[in-house]
């Protein structure tokens, strides 16, 4: 198994960022669409696999699964999305929050190019996530009878619960909590990217990516692109509920942005840019300069 030293990993990250900012807009949108769908696939799998194993602490004492175990299952299967992205060359906004600035630090690409990359990839990620959320909401999350009447499945109920939790951040402290979770999330995501760069073989990349992603999901951190799937999936599925007492009025397309995506996206940028990009550039810039 080939393992690259840290300075080489940081240099390779800068090279990857330079390549990405040079891609045409249509290509960034297309690759962003794919990445959004792939993250959504991981989110959908995590939703299905964690359905039915959540329990109260009291129930856990009598042999039922615990909330922590549910998070572990959710986190264990979610990494499939980022693994596919890294191995197939799709574009993920949260990864580019570190890779594009690395290119600016090492190769002196312009910051307008970095911002342009972020915007195009973010849009592509959102479109891909929405498309897969629709597939899940009208697929496994709902069943239809011969008359066309819809019934939300157990998986759909779980999807709504996840989405409702993600728009529950209200007030200044709620926003601060979401921001900190987003910072921690993308700190781990970009460490996963770096660990993926460390190895040249499939198995090395797999495990390098899997552990940090499992850690962030199991810990309950917030990932903007994942939430582009989780929240719309819950909103679309909730649309099939006819009993008004079972509808969460706070789960809307507006609260998706105001209570989550805006602050989480900012936190993801801070986590990737400063806690990985800036720190590793400062730590290894002399060694990187010596490589040139």
Domain ranges in the chain are 6-285
What is the Rg, in whole angstroms, of the alpha carbon atoms belonging to the chain? Answer: 20
pLDDT attached to residue 70: 83
pLDDT attached to residue 210: 97
Distance CA(10)–CA(13), nearest Å, equals: 5
pLDDT attached to residue 53: 79
pLDDT attached to residue 58: 47
pLDDT attached to residue 292: 62
- Find the angle CA(256)-CA(260)-CA(265) to the nearest 5 degrees: 115
- Which CATH superfamily groups domain 6-285? Glycerol uptake facilitator protein. (1.20.1080.10)
For 49-84, the DSSP string reads HTTT----HHHHTTTPPPHHHHHHHHHHHTTHHHHH
For the record, the structure tokens of 45 come out as 């799998």
Distance CA(238)–CA(258), nearest Å, equals: 19
The residue ranges of the chain whose pLDDT is under 70 are 1-2, 54-65, 292
Q: At what angle do helices 6-21 and 111-137 cross, to 10 degrees?
A: 80
Alpha helix segments (H runs only) across 108-170: 111-137, 154-166
- The answer to whether 230 touches 166, Cβ cutoff 8 Å, is yes
């Amino acid at each position: 198994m080939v393992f690259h030293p840290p300075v080489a990993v940081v240099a390779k990250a800068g090279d990857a960022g330079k390549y990405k900012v040079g891609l045409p807009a249509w290509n960034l949108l297309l690759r962003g669409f794919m990445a959004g769908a792939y993250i959504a696939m991981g989110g959908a799998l995590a939703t299905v696999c964690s359905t039915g194993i959540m329990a109260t602490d009291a129930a856990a004492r009598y042999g039922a699964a615990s909330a922590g175990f549910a998070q572990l299952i959710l986190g264990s299967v979610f990494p499939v999305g980022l693994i596919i992205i890294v191995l197939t060359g799709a574009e993920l906004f949260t990864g580019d929050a570190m890779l594009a600035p690395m290119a600016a630090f090492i190769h002196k690409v312009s910051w307008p190019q970095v911002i342009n990359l972020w915007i195009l990839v973010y849009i592509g990620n959102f479109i891909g996530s929405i498309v897969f959320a629709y597939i899940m909401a009208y697929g496994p999350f709902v069943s239809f009878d011969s008359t066309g009447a819809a019934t939300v499945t157990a998986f759909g109920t779980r999807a709504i619960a996840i989405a409702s939790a993600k728009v529950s951040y209200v007030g200044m402290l709620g926003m601060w909590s979401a921001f900190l979770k987003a910072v921690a999330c993308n700190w781990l995501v970009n460490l996963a990217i770096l660990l993926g760069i460390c190895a040249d073989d499939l198995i090395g990349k797999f495990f390098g990516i899997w552990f940090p992603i499992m850690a962030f999901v199991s810990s309950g951190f917030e990932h903007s692109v994942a939430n582009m799937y989780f929240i719309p999936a819950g909103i679309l599925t909730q649309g099939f509920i006819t009993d008004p007492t079972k509808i969460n009025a706070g789960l809307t397309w507006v609260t998706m942005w105001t209570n989550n995506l805006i602050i989480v996206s900012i936190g993801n940028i801070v986590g990737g840019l400063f806690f990985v990009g800036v720190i590793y550039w400062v730590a290894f810039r002399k060694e990187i300069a010596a490589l040139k």
